[in-house]
Structure 1
Amino acid sequence: MTDNETISHEEAETVTPAATGERADWLEGLAKQRHFIRFTTRDLTDEQAGLRTTASELCLGGLIKHVTRVERSWAAFIQHGPSVLPDFTAMTEADWAERAATFRMLPGETLAGVLTDYEKAAHETDAVIASVPDLDASWPLPKAPWNEPGAAWTIRHVLMHLVAETAQHSGHADIIRESLDGAQSMA
């Protein structure tokens, strides 16, 4: 962009503050994992993105929806603490069913739509990480069967979790895609 060019309000909202040092390293690692999971969906139709190709309930579009929700949840946690996340120990069967729907392409959803939403969530997360005052700030984790009672995570730990979770689901996506049509992310 030249000095004479201007950006629209919408474009301004997607401009991420520059991250440096450790933050830039974390965001670069997260960006790499985001790329792999998105790349796995290349050249697919909406129908293909919603297909289950393994014994699992997972599909490619559902995995993209899930990592989108995960990023938004943890970005909100970084900003506002555990009150923005549910008490997983008190969730009802209906709550768990709603959560499971985030792993599926639902009627009317498109792969392009879920990818666009993921890109938006990534920009939002990057902006939070670039602007948060201290990576050592911490919050108690919400109640969940998988969290140790009383445990707290620093923002740095949340970043580590986001990279790991995105990488894990990228691997799931690669297996699903290979089962779908033989394509591989790393081939």
Structure 2
Amino acid sequence: MKFRNLSHTTDTIFRRIHFLFGKRNLLSAWWWGVKIGSNTRFDGKCYFKRYPKSSITIGDNCEFLSRPNSNLIGVDRPCMVSTLTEVAQLEIGDNAGFSGTVIGAFSSIKIGKNVRCGANTLITDSDWHPGDTRVGEAKPVIIGDNVWLGINVVVLKGVEIGENTVIGANSLVTKSIPANVVAAGSPCKEIAKLPV
């Protein structure tokens, strides 16, 4: 029985070592002028890029998982957090968790407290390629407290997701979703109310 637990114990030790090596991300954040609260942890390399004069603020006790097996559902890419214009503001609340999540702000992205982003999620307030005449203006994104985004969810510009809402796996969120609901689909729609 003890031998069977050895693999789990070894995995737990290596995971803690990865989090210790993850502290190098704090140096990268400092280099890019990203403000990070206390006790934020990294497993694997997280990429930061802050456009001059813009701001990126990350709260306390957040977690960024970027290694392929740092989340056993499977992480396809590292976490990437960026601002892409000088007016952009990106704010992440306390106790938020990200697995291979890409967040790109041209205007404003505000992520509340206790938000969980499943593997390979994307949050953006722009269509990107702003020089293309087919692209519209960036529009702010707001994700309320206690929101859970399932695996592969994409949140696009101009969306507000109300607090406590759960967005189902593989959903494409193109319009705002109210608080305290389960929503899913492409495009994402409310499918059930949650008890308040």
What is the TM-score with the length of structure 2 in the denominator?
0.23
Which has more helix, going by share of residues? 1
Looking at both structures, which has the greater relative contact order when contacts are Cα pairs under 8 Å and sequence separation is at least 6? 1
Which has more strand, going by share of residues? 2
What is the TM-score with the length of structure 1 in the denominator?
0.24
